[in-house]
Amino acid sequence: MGRSILGERVLRKEDPKFLTSGGKYVDDLLDEPLLNGAFHVTYARSTVAHGRINSIDTSDAAGMPGVIAILTAADLGLQPVPSSFNPAAARTLLASDKVRYVGEPIAAIISETREQGEDAAEMVFADYDVLPAYTDMMAAMAPDATLIYEACGSNIVFDTTALGIPANTGDEFFKGCEVVVRGEFMNQRVAPCPLEVRGSAVAWVDGRLYQWISTQHAQGAHAPVAATNGVDPSQVRILTPDVGGGFGAKIGAYPEELLLGVLAKRIGRPLRWRESRSESMVALGHGRAQFQRVVIGGTKDGKITHYQLHAFQDSGAFVDMGTILAPFMTRPMSSGVYAIPNIECHTTSVVTNTTPTVAYRGAGRPEATAAIERAMDLFAYEIGKDPVEVRRINLIPKFMEPHTTVVGQTYDVGDYEESLNRALAAADYSGWRRKQAERRASGNAKQIGIGVSVYVEITGGVGTGEQAKIEILDDGRALIYTGTSPHGQGHATSWAMLASEKTGIPIDRIDLVWGDTDLTPVGSGTMGSRSLQQGGNAVFSVAGTLVDKAKAVAARLLEANEADIVLDTDRAVFHVAGTPAVTRTWADLAVAEKANGGLNHDEYIGVPGATFPFGSHVAIVEVDTETGKVTHIAHTACDDAGRVLNPMLLEGQIHGGVAQGAAQALLEEVAYDGDGNPITSNLADYAFISAAELPSVTVIHMETPTPVNLIGAKGIGESGTIGSTPALQSAVVDAVSHLGVRNIEMPCTPQRVWAAIAAASK
């Protein structure tokens, strides 16, 4: 038997298609016969952030060229849909009684062409009684604030006290601490900005709805689409073509997608919908948006004994996924990598008149890491110690058995100090500190900043396993059916590697089937860095079982005992032990089994729990103290994701994660004016990172396999983002800390950096 393919740098087999003919996305379904004659849907959207709807006048729009119909919530008889997280917060899929954010859909326009629909949308006029708009959580929480959902009785729509978790006790908690440091931080609102905006298409055929959606979870969209259309789930087929990025924002089905089937049935024609980039910026769910109050206490020699976090989560205008990110993702990870004996963490979720928040790369875990890492820096500054030294003093020691933190979260395995040591060595931390001292002594206007973060995150927390099926075709090729959904992660390569490892079938003869609820009806989708450890784990297990099945068939064909059958994975053939010249191929076995239903295996493979990747990042920046400009000049990342399947794919995920994390630290922020109007509604106003703003990233490998799955793998899709953001923010602050600056809110723009320096000088 030859060398294992696992752990090898295998080129992505997806890339030739994407680099030549290109992917086939929702907007490319021009040759789909079921969509012949499709009309286009455009949504007219609210132009005010908060207001009661008196009337919606569609008469002018209805007379526009090419307009087939314009339908409102009243026309469609839409009923309020209660939130699963707070049933008192109910809304119709098209706004009816009131609007709650700029961009909320109020009417659906059906037209012959997309351009005609866009023109008609401009002619839909709504009359509102304008209400106070809240873009700030503190204002929305005020006792006299106008309620965004009257039935809730408050704009606070979820609180951890509802889970039986007591509120923070306040200053009394820190009694006896030698040093207590406080901070308030805003983990700012960001837009996902996938290159492919949302899109969908629908067709009714013989009473059955076919719907194509750009989604991370076809199976998750299945039940909501069926419910909205009032049909049995068996009458709905969700299909996912190639998806051009999701970052968490494409996990759920949005009103614009849910209504397409209803509209198509009303009109009697297939329909297409695609949002514009400007629509995407205000209507595709936003991320982060968490305000944090932290207090950290301990001894003068650097030991942290007490930590208190109150996280205020901005839900946006809907009580949706964003509502539960703080209580269910930030709070459990509030301890980070540190052995802190006393922790209090209280979270409060608040509705505002802004775009609803959803899961966004890391979803609650980056916020937890940012809070504790910023607190560590403040404590280190206060006691005059190097931030690395304070971290090292407080790290949880290496553990190869489960470790439970004070807040009740159990980590699988971890060696946090080793990841820190590797990152510091590779980054030449001591060398950069010397260069920093030289710059400061010289009085140079351009100062060096060094930022360090150590993190742990939870991955695979969604789902308890995954479904996989492998089918061998008559020509010996293999098809893998998976419940996960690729949108850039490299599943076709990874899953083929796992199946090839067991079967010996070359990866170029293994194809992937996903995102079709007829062919892959069971699946928990791609989110929370779960794919490899659950979806890949299922493929690995199913491939092993399929080999066992194949040996039984080979034994029959070779007229031998099953126990004597050997699979030669180098040649992908079966033979009797000691007789390698007489073989049967996978194709031989598949043909022989046709009468018995074919050679395949289909199974749901469970996992006992989540995994906890960890790592350390070191960021180096140069800050021009005269202008505030920040230049990211070096970055080192040591991300431990357990056993590495393909180093090339891992490095790609880390590079992408660092880019996204750096963008939040330095550039990105969704902003609103005082009336709730978005002022970053296109890519001219919303700063978007490019290669020009990024240094080469040094990736340091470290593997601490987890016992949670057969592969030993943890997630990697979000780690780079979680580690890089606090490291960059820390580096910017560190560059000007000698001037008296202790914190600069993200994004650390030149204006904010300059203002912080000016304020400190006073």
Listed in order, the ranges of the chain carrying CATH 3.90.1170.50 are: 33-131
Is residue 2's pLDDT more than 90? no
pLDDT on residue 498:
98
pLDDT on residue 722:
98
Work out the average pLDDT over 24-50: 97
**For the chain, what is the mean pLDDT?**
97
Percentage above 90 pLDDT, the chain: 99
Check: CB of residue 549 under 8 Å from CB of residue 601.
yes
Domain 397-401+412-459+611-762 part of CATH 3.30.365.10: yes
pLDDT on residue 3:
84
Strands 304-316 and 342-351 turn out to be: parallel
Listed in order, the ranges of the chain carrying CATH 3.30.365.10 are: 397-401+412-459+611-762, 461-606
Distance separating alpha carbons of residues 87 and 518, to the nearest angstrom: 32
Please give the CATH topology (third level) of the domain spanning 33-131.
Aldehyde Oxidoreductase; domain 3 (3.90.1170)
What CA–CA distances, in Å, run from 66 to 110, 201, 639? 9, 19, 54
pLDDT digits (tens, 9 = 90+) for 445-455: 999 999 999 99
Distance from the Cα of residue 322 to its chain's centroid: 12
Q: What is this structure's pTM? A: 0.97
pLDDT band at 238 (very low <50, low <70, confident <90, very high): very high
Indicate the range of 1-15, 501-515, 522-536 predicted with least confidence: 1-15
Check: CB of residue 349 under 8 Å from CB of residue 279.
no
Report the first-to-last Cα separation within the chain, whole angstroms. 72
pLDDT digits (tens, 9 = 90+) for 608-641: 999 999 999 999 999 999 999 999 999 999 999 9
For the record, the structure tokens of 276 come out as: 């514009």
Find the helix or strand (DSSP H, E) in which 470 lies. Answer: strand 465-472
pLDDT on residue 720:
97
pLDDT digits (tens, 9 = 90+) for 64-112: 999 999 999 999 999 999 999 999 999 999 999 999 999 999 999 999 9
Q: Where are the alpha helices (DSSP H) in 15-113?
A: 15-19, 59-62, 73-76
pLDDT on residue 688:
86
pLDDT digits (tens, 9 = 90+) for 644-675: 999 999 999 999 999 999 999 999 999 999 99
pLDDT band at 1 (very low <50, low <70, confident <90, very high): low
For the record, the structure tokens of 238 come out as: 């969700």
pLDDT on residue 762:
86
pLDDT digits (tens, 9 = 90+) for 310-333: 999 999 999 999 999 999 999 999
Given this structure, which CATH class describes domain 461-606?
A: alpha beta
Work out the average pLDDT over 157-174: 96
